[in-house]
Amino acid sequence: MSRPALFDFPNPVNEVSARLVAGGVVAMSVTYLATGWTPLLLVITYGFVARVLTGPTLSPLGQLVTRVVTPRLGLPERPTAGPPKRFAQGIGATLSTAAVIVYFAGSPLAAKILIGMIVIAASLESFVGFCLGCVMFRQLMKVGVIPESVCVDCADISDRLAAAELRRERLAVG
């Protein structure tokens, strides 16, 4: 069995891990908003860029969640398409990188506003299971900006509906 390349992003992604990573992002981002501690802004940005490029491979938060937290919770995996999650991480990378730029350009308030936007999106993902970046990804697929070949699972919802029905049946029996 071959090892994945460094710059591979997982597909599918475990939804449980994705939500836990989002919870970590919320915690770090709220801490940054409360303290204004610049190194934390850099850590948040690094994490997003690392996850966009390599999934959890080079992300300390991604490694903690996928190797320690998720396995210890003992919850069943909930596979979901990887490309929309990567897109969502890309939005986080863009917002956090912009926050670093405006911070060092002399506007810490603008940086906090951008990180506040991350808090909102990551909170929706972590606490509600609503991935704002994933919704944007699907809309861009609908209008043809993102080709269906990027995420065949996203284009064909029937597989996800069948998997959801199977999960419901298993819960009803067990």
Of 11, 143, 2, the closest CA to residue 81 belongs to 11
Indicate if the pLDDT at residue 142 is higher than 70.
Answer: yes
Give the chain's count of helices (H) and strands (E). 9, 2
- Which residue would you say has higher pLDDT here, 30 or 174? 30
When pLDDT is averaged across residues 31-45 and rounded to a whole number, the result is 98
Local confidence band at 6 (pLDDT 50, 70, 90 cut-offs): confident
pLDDT at 54 over 60: yes
* Rg of the chain taking only CA atoms, in angstroms: 17
**pLDDT interval class at 16 (50, 70, 90):** very high
Predicted confidence (pLDDT) per residue in 63-111, tens digit: 999 999 999 999 999 999 999 999 999 999 999 999 999 999 999 999 9
Residue indicated by tokens 């891990």: 17
CA distances from 133 to 37, 83, 86, 111, 130 (A): 27, 10, 9, 20, 9
Average pLDDT in the 101-129 region? Answer: 98
| pLDDT given for residue 1 in this prediction | 47
Average pLDDT of the segment spanning 112-134: 98
Task: Please determine, for residue 164, whether its predicted confidence score (pLDDT) is greater than 90.
Answer: no
Q: 160: pLDDT confidence band, cut at 50, 70 and 90?
A: low
Residue 12 pLDDT exceeds 90: yes
pLDDT at 158 over 60: no
Q: What is the pLDDT of residue 168?
A: 67
> Does the reported pTM lie above 0.75?
yes
